[in-house]
Amino acid sequence: HNGPVMLCDYHYGLVMLCDYHNGSVMLCDHHNSPVLLCDYHYGLVMLCDYHNGSVMLCDHHNCPVMLCDQQNGPVMLCDHRNSPVMLCDHHIGPVMLCDHHNGPVMLCDHHNGPAMLCDHHNGPVMLCDHHNGPVMLCDHHNGPVMLCDCCHNLL
């Protein structure tokens, strides 16, 4: 298929990472409504902020969730000009996705196959808003953010 993979908010457009009072980081639309990461097998997937400031994708059992393609290869987030895209918290600046060893987690393509969000059992993870609508990732100019491999090829 090798087409662009977009994460878009079906109802609102822009999706932001918001920092709440307890220090956790959640995906929100521009009306500050929560955008939930839904795990196909387990349910809710959260972005958890730990005491050292690192951010980790966890399922509701606090098991790490990896960002993988369907062959378990890493993928990278790029904007539509193939520039790297950072996940930012609109209160405290950039945040990084880290694994449970505090290593950075990148979205990379390994076999140029479709990029999927997988849990640690390789089950598919879907991005949904709180109405179960599809979610798209946009840059701060509301431009689409596409998944590219490390050679800047669209997935």
Residue ranges covered by each domain of the chain: 9-140
Confidence of residue 105 (pLDDT cuts 50, 70, 90): very low
pLDDT for residue 124: 55
Q: State the average pLDDT for the chain.
A: 47
Q: What is the pLDDT of residue 63?
A: 57
Assess contact for 146 and 154: CB atoms under 8 A: yes
Q: Which range among 57-66, 100-109, 119-128 shows the weakest confidence by mean pLDDT?
A: 100-109
Tens of pLDDT, residue by residue over 26-60, are 555 555 555 555 444 444 444 444 433 444 455 55
Q: What pLDDT is recorded for position 102? A: 42
**pLDDT recorded at residue 117:** 52
pLDDT at 93 over 50: no
